[in-house]
Structure 1
Amino acid sequence: MLMDLCTQKGNISLVACAMQMFFFITLGGTECLLLAMMAYDRYVAICHPLHYTLIMNHKFCMQLVATSWVCGVPVMIGQTSQIFTLPFCGSNRIDHFFCDIPPVLKLACGDTFENEMAVYVVAVVFLTFPFPLILISYVRIISSILRMPLARGRAKAFSTCSSHLTVVVLFYGTASITYLQPKPRQAEDNGKLLSLFYTVLIPTLNPMIYSLRNKDIMLALRKLQSYQHGLNT
């Protein structure tokens, strides 16, 4: 995609399109699972702080990450293979800026109902299955925070969860609208705009969102703000 942006040709082979789709949906599906596991990590850190290092040890963290990839990769291989074994005829122009599932399915000939249902089922599993786990974790986290006697402790606990919760809302919100919305209601322009959010905007914002809890980053931002205020005055 970066090469196409530089050359302005906008051409992609069928194999390259399939590879692009595979990597995109694999990374997206894995991120859904990782966000759920990060919510569990925040739950242990706030609700069981004394046992955190014992529960979230290096071996267990590696197992969680490996599980995310093991669950994601085989399913997405099957999903991509199923889509690209369809017959394609007529126009070969994708009305999108990358090989996403909905615009590629529109180019396929014949009945694509089974493929659309398969996409919907995978989206439900990878989007809505981890979400209740995240929700349960945060219900317990909020319940534990509200029982804290000191306001400073509550503020620190909320700060620990704020970056992860922001990413969850942004990522799940846009991805759910794109892949769980009924087909007749899908507008092409809206789909492109939402795709920009979870493919470009959110990955760009992630480092900044997660860095807001870093003391050095906050100190640098305050210095920059005071410097700009000094220039204005």
Structure 2
Amino acid sequence: MEFPSTALETATKLAETHKKRALELFALPFKNHKLYKNAVDASYAPTPNSKFETIKGEILIDSTVAKLLAFDHKIKEVRPEDKNRAVYRKFTSISDDAKKAILECEKGKILDNNTYMLYQCMDSSVPLVARREFTMGRTMFDLSGEAQKVLVVTASVDCDQKFVEKAVRGQLLSGLLYEEIEPGKCRVTSVCHCDPCGNVPAVIFNNLLDGQNNFLVKLKAAE
């Protein structure tokens, strides 16, 4: 399961555009705040030109930006054949710069503007709803000033290659903002807009958005 080289080239060229779009999501008028799993401040906003809402999550974690980024990049690969998992992800077409950036994060350093490809497939718990797959580019941007501040953007990239049978190709845009607010303490803010494509009622999908903040819960548990 490998991406064609053209997919990584496209993701790299579009990285700045995806960054701009992700920052626009952060600026949406979020409301209906609630505490998710006693850890995440979750809120929601209508998305321009879409019937699907954008979800936002914010959490405070006692850690450093570099350590959190190292965890962020360690997404485990799960084989499609593993029927006990509804979600599996796979790194493919990771550039040498991206590999170096991940290693540098583990050492406590941060490298700017590197892109790699990420594949994700989600099986549906409803027999009549097809599984969804996403082909995405992922880029880390160093926005640091006096304090460390890093934005990780994940955005769908067109790819003609089909990876699994009977899957609908969805569209996703997300941003993870890691900010040092004092030595050893960070605020992590996430935004995510997903269009599952196909015939999925918006009212049902919008009621299932909370799961997008599970990553922040796992991030805090790993501090």
TM-score, normalised to structure 2's length?
0.24
Flag the structure with larger Rg.
1
TM-score, normalised to structure 1's length?
0.24
